Chain A
Amino acid sequence: MTSTLATFLSLAVDGIAYGMMLFLISVGLTITLGVMRVVNLTHSAFAMIGGYIALWFIQRAGVHFFLAVPLAVVATMAIGALLERTLYRWVYGTHGLGQLLMTIGLTFVITAIVKNLAGTQLQSLPLPSSLQGNFSVGPLNLSVYRAFLIVASAAVALALWLGIERTAFGARLRAAVDNQRMARCVGINVPAVFSVTFAIGCGLAALGGALGSPMLPLEPYYGLKYLVIVVAVGGLGSLRGSLYAALLLGLIDTLGRYYLPALGAFVIYLAVLAILLVRPRGLVAN
């Protein structure tokens, strides 16, 4: 009986770690969507780019894991800012369909480039020794990596919340979201705020993609494969909504795979459907 409970608890911790990683990948989308109202289906591809850049730094340049990941985040932010200044600018004014097609097109291009550069095999970042192994809390045996993932994601969530609620940049951002014209009138450089926000969103995706690669291995079709889940989580439009959705999906997926393996991925998409139906106005909710 205790072992069933212990199994359940360790599965729950795995689920929470998985959910936190989903949150990390998707939260950037929450911000860009909530702020810029751009249907950005390329978001999961930015996570993949971040993962591959970190992998490149570790394998080819011999950089340590804890340095490679921030470098990858910065590089992805630069790529994101560049694309925002060029491609995304084209579709700001257009309808949802134009944005949808453009970002799908961009995802195709990125997929093809990654396939050419990195090959089709599944890859993940080699973890440093400090993140390997397990530790036990009472009867539970937990992996160091997953605990690290939970702590790191929680730290990011907290930092984001503080950044948006307590800093001057956050105030400008909220002003630009609430009323773009008014924000311009009081002297806020709205396009610049948007560019920075978009870059931060891409950076967060990169962080999630790099840190989460042992769970969601990198592959060229990453951007398309995890698109549904990432957009479902990130598309809810509020930080808290995304966090809850990510945790819920993480738990359902992990527990579902263990207790109902016959249903496979069916369970998680059913949950995504339920979330989208319960919060159909999630996008505009503040």
Chain B
Amino acid sequence: MTTPSLNSSVARAFSRHRYNLLDLVLLGAAVATFFLADLYLALATAVLIMIVFALSLDIAQGYGGIETLGHAAFFGTGAYAAGLYAMHVSSEPISGLFVGMAAAAVVGLLSGLAVLRTAGLTQIMLTLVCATLLLELANVAKPLTMGDDGLTGYSIAPVLGLFQFDIEGRTAYWYALAVLVLVYVFCKFLVSSPLGLTAQGVRENPTRMALLGVPVRRRLLTLYAISAALGGAAGALSAQVNNIVGLDSLGFTMSANVLVMLALGGTGRLYGAFLGAIVFMLLADRAAALDPTNWLAALGVLLIVVVRFASTGLSGCLARWTSRGGAQ
């Protein structure tokens, strides 16, 4: 990273805070999807949920530099918390969403205490082990989670008491889209906030930030907990929309997939989460339907190619292409 002058770095921070044409295009595409592709609403809703999940990973990994291979821990925690809440406490969706986020944030805080003490491979392994541990816990606690069968048999009340979840998934789509917009606005705010900016400083050089008087560990822990809460929101959405929570929501594949999405889209620029999740989910839907085995091979090759030739992901290529000689 070059060291831009104070003015230009402030300007850059503010320019990222602003909304631009791309945001409008994405929102337009989301609305258009509802009217033009209503047969694919279920897939589109899944894409929206994965964008929320990828955004949460981007906060931790792209902005905080926390390397994780266990982000499914938060998705799964949010999903199980929301599912159990709907089953035993209340079927109201919005409070359920917050319950999922809170549960995931608690998991994020606790695991963050361990994970953030380390770096590199140990950190990656710790995140992976934390997620695997939760998976095994969910597997062992069969009376509560129904284990392999998946948590089912709960229903979700209408959103705000007005919009009933329908069989075509219209309400689900709007609900997921509303949550995504809120999460995105929040992320946009977060990455330009003092917390987000110091986190990026820590990502670039933790020692220097510590010398500048930034409480590095505490900032990262806060960021990690926020990221976990957003991941929990994605999980809770998935639980409420699909009316089932499976063990796979905590599994390695979930963690790996979201990592692939973000790598594909590009880390540390929010749009990467959108691009990556859209491209990945559409590819996966087509390819997995045709040939699951070779989809895995194609995914592997894709990953290797992205690492080799496009380490900034699609959004990085796009940014280079649109602003040649720009700040990036």
A contacts, CB < 8 Å to B: 33, 39, 87, 90-91, 94, 96-98, 100-102, 104-113, 115-116, 224, 227-228, 231-232, 235, 262-266, 269-270, 272-273, 276-277, 280-283
The CA-CA distance from A283 to B119 in the complex, in Å, is 10
Interchain CA distance A39-B125 in the complex, whole Å: 10
Q: Is the CB of B252 within 8 A of A224?
A: yes
> Whole-angstrom distance from the CB of B64 to the nearest CB of chain A?
12
Known: A97-B263, A269-B133, A280-B118. 11 other contacts (CB 8 A): A100-B69, A102-B304, A102-B308, A105-B299, A105-B307, A112-B294, A113-B297, A263-B140, A265-B136, A273-B129, A276-B126
Contact in complex: B307, A94 (CB < 8 Å):
yes
In the bound complex, CA of A94 to CA of B306 (Å): 13
B114 within 8 A of A: yes
| Chain B residues with a Cβ under 8 A of chain A | 61, 67, 69, 114, 117-118, 120-122, 124-126, 128-130, 132-133, 136-137, 139-140, 252, 256, 259-260, 263, 267, 293-294, 296-297, 299-304, 306-308, 311
Closest-by-CB residue of B relative to A110 is B300
Q: List 19 A-B contacts (CB under 8 A).
A: A39-B120, A87-B304, A90-B307, A96-B124, A97-B67, A101-B260, A101-B263, A102-B308, A109-B300, A112-B293, A113-B297, A116-B294, A235-B125, A266-B140, A273-B114, A273-B126, A273-B130, A276-B125, A283-B120
Chain B residues positioned under 8 Å from A227 (CB to CB): 128, 252
Roughly how many angstroms separate A280 CA and B303 CA in the complex, as a whole number? 28
Determine which of B139, B294, B296 lies in contact with A264 in the assembled complex, contact meaning CB atoms within 8 Å.
Answer: B139
Nearest Cβ in chain A — how far from B281, in angstroms? 17
Residues of B close to A98: CB separation below 8 A: 307, 311
Chain B: CB-nearest residue to A277? B114
- A97 to B303: give the CA distance in the assembly, Å: 12
- Chain B residues near A273 (CB, 8 Å)? 114, 126, 129-130, 133
The answer to whether A235 and B136 touch across the interface, beta carbons within 8 angstroms, is: no
Least distance between B256 CB and chain A CB atoms (Å):
6
Q: Tell me the complex Cα distance, A113–B298, Å.
A: 11
**Residues of chain A lying within 8 A (CB to CB) of residue B256:** 104
Q: A33-B121, A96-B120, A283-B121 are in contact. Are A116 and B293 (CB under 8 A)?
A: yes
- Chain A proximity of B188: nearest CB distance (Å): 23
Give the CA-CA distance A5 to B248 in the complex, in Å. 40
Docked pose: A281 CA to B120 CA in angstroms:
10
A39 CA to B67 CA in the complex, in Å?
12
Interface pair A231/B121, CB less than 8 Å apart: yes
**B126 and A112 contact, CB distance less than 8 A:** no
Which residues of B lie under 8 Å from residue A96 when comparing CB positions? 67, 120-121, 124
CA distance A39 to B306 in the complex (A): 17
Distance from B31 Cβ to chain A, minimum over Cβ atoms (Å) = 33
Q: Could you tell me the distance in whole angstroms from the C-beta of A256 to the nearest C-beta in chain B?
A: 11
Given A266-B133, A269-B129, A102 contacting B124 (CB threshold 8 A): no
How many A-B pairs fall under 8 Å by CB?
Answer: 127
The 8 closest A-B pairs by CB, nearest first: A105-B303, A108-B300, A112-B297, A109-B300, A266-B136, A105-B300, A112-B296, A105-B304
Contact yes or no, A108 B61, CB < 8 A: no
Closest to B136 in A: A266
Hey, which chain B residues are within 8 Å of A224, CB to CB?
252
Measured CA separation A283–B122 after assembly (Å)? 7
Measured CA separation A39–B69 after assembly (Å):
12
In the complex, A87→B117 CA distance in Å?
Answer: 31
B263 contacts across to A, CB distance below 8 A: 97, 101
Across the interface, which residues of B come within 8 angstroms of A282, CB to CB? 122
A121 to B263, CA, bound (A): 32
Q: Which residues of A lie under 8 Å from residue B69 when comparing CB positions?
A: 100
> Nearest Cβ in chain B — how far from A28, in angstroms?
15
**By the criterion CB–CB under 8 Å, are A108 and B303 in contact?**
yes
B128 near A228 with CB under 8 A, answer yes
Chain A min CB distance to B127 (Å): 10
Asked whether, in the complex, the Cβ of A270 is within 8 Å of the Cβ of B133, the reply is: yes
Docked pose: A264 CA to B126 CA in angstroms? 20
What CA separation (Å) do A71 and B125 show in the bound complex? 32
> Once the chains bind, are B129 and A235 in contact (CB under 8 Å)?
no
Q: How far is the CA of A96 from the CA of B114 in the complex (A)?
A: 19
Min CB–CB distance A276 → chain B (angstroms): 5
Q: Which residues of B contact A39 (CB under 8 A)?
A: 120-121, 124
Residues of A within 8 A of B133 (CB): 266, 269-270, 273
B122 touches A269 (CB 8 A): no
CB distance from A133 to the nearest CB of B (A): 35
Q: How far does the Cβ of B135 sit from chain A's closest Cβ, in whole Å?
A: 9
Contact for A232 among B125, B302, B308, CB less than 8 A = B125
Closest to A87 in B: B304
B289 to chain A, nearest CB (A): 16
A101 in contact with B129 (CB, 8 Å): no
Q: For B306, list chain A residues within 8 Å (CB).
A: 101
Q: CB distance A107 to B300 under 8 Å?
A: yes
A270 to B136, CA, bound (A): 10
Q: A94-B311, A101-B259, A277-B114 are in contact. Are A264 and B140 (CB under 8 A)?
A: yes
Which of the residues B122, B303, B311 comes within 8 Å of A276, measured between beta carbons?
A: B122
- Tell me the complex Cα distance, A231–B124, Å: 10
Residues on B with beta carbons closer than 8 Å to the beta carbon of A110: 300
Residues of A within 8 A of B130 (CB): 273
